């Protein structure tokens, strides 16, 4: 690899990491941070009720706060699992992606079909990157408008490379920032990213990894 190519790849990785931090910040702000702010207000209200001698009202208020705290804890656990799943190293790629798909399917009442057994044969870095791409692709698909079905497949290509395909029947993906973020993540493995939309509904993203990247 030439010096220019190495610098370009490094720049792509930096951009991908910046996008990931931005996305993580949005997830934390829109979920747990909002819950924690609400909990603080609830505690203030409960303390005010106690000072006024309204014990029963204070208990009711604290009960709502407890439910919010539990919800925030669940969101944080799910976020940690989605970002860097322990299962990826413990039970393998296929099982980790299957668990991810079950969580999304349950939350959004969406059918997610997997054909990803070849993923278990990929290298550690390839598995981690493809897991993150699958997670992001599914997440963005349900954000666009709850597709009824999402298909995820991984197959071996000629020469020992790998191809990931994620397709859905929801509203077409028109947000360039989403596609650019996925492309940047694929670029960290020298992968080739492409996307297509079908009107009035449907989007497909494809990531092709060269043999050297698939084994990393």
**One-letter-per-residue 3-state SS of 24-91:** HHHHHHHHHHHHHHHHHHHHHHHHHHHHCCCHHHHHHHHHHHHHHHHHHHHHHHHHHHHHCCCHHHHC
CATH architecture of 92-214: 2-Layer Sandwich (3.30)
Task: Give the residue, 199 or 94, on which the prediction is more confident.
Answer: 94
Task: Output the pLDDT for position 190.
Answer: 85
Average pLDDT value for residue range 136-151: 88
Digit-coded pLDDT (tens) for 35-82: 888 899 999 999 999 999 999 999 999 998 888 888 888 778 777 766
Instruction: State phi, psi for 209 to the nearest 5 degrees.
Output: -105, 135
Taking a C-beta distance cutoff of 8 angstroms, is the pair 213, 126 a contact?
A: yes
> Which comes out higher in pLDDT, residue 118 or 86?
118
The number of beta carbons lying within 10 Å of the beta carbon of residue 36 is: 13
Rounded distance between C-alpha atoms, residue 172 and residue 146, angstroms: 11
Mean pLDDT of 71-95: 76
Residue 80: the pLDDT is 72
Portion of the chain with pLDDT greater than 90, in percent: 38
The answer to whether residue 1 scores a pLDDT higher than 60 is no
User: CA-to-CA distance for 98 and 75, rounded, in angstroms?
Assistant: 19
For residue 186, the model assigns a pLDDT of: 87
Residue pointed to by tokens 């954000």: 143
Q: Please answer whether residues 162 and 156 qualify as being in contact, where contact means their C-beta atoms are separated by less than 8 angstroms.
A: yes
Would you state the pLDDT for residue 194?
94
Is pLDDT at 12 greater than 60 in this prediction?
Answer: no
Domain boundaries, the chain: 3-83, 92-214
> Quick one: pLDDT band at residue 9, thresholds 50, 70, 90?
low
- Of the candidates 203, 127, 111, 116, the one whose C-alpha atom is nearest the C-alpha of residue 152 is 116
Whether the predicted pLDDT of 148 surpasses 70: yes
The angle formed by the CA atoms of residues 107, 113 and 116, to the nearest 5 degrees, is: 120
Structure confidence at residue 87 (pLDDT):
66
Predicted local distance difference test score (pLDDT) of residue 81: 65
Question: What pLDDT is recorded for position 120?
Answer: 92
**Beta pairing, strands 111-115 & 149-156:** parallel
């Amino acid at each position: 690899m030439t010096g220019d190519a190495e610098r370009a790849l490094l720049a792509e990785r930096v951009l991908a990491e910046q996008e990931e931090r931005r996305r993580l910040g949005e997830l934390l702000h829109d979920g747990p941070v909002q819950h924690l702010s609400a909990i603080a207000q609830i505690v203030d209200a409960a303390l005010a009720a106690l000072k006024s001698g309204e014990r029963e009202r204070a208990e009711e208020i604290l009960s709502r706060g407890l439910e919010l705290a539990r919800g925030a804890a669940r969101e944080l656990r799910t976020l940690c699992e989605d970002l860097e799943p322990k299962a990826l190293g413990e039970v393998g790629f296929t099982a980790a992606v299957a668990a991810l798909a079950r969580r999304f399917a349950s939350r959004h009442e969406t059918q997610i079909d997997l054909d990803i057994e070849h993923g278990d044969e990929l290298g550690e870095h390839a598995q981690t990157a493809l897991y993150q791409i699958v997670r992001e692709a599914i997440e963005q698909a349900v954000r666009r408008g709850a597709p009824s079905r999402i298909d995820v497949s991984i197959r071996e290509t000629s020469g020992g490379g790998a191809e990931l395909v994620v397709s859905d029947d929801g509203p077409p993906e028109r947000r360039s920032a989403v596609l650019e973020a996925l492309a940047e993540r694929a670029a960290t493995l020298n992968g080739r990213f492409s996307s297509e939309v079908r009107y009035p509904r449907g989007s497909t993203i494809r990531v092709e990894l060269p043999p050297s990247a698939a084994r990393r």
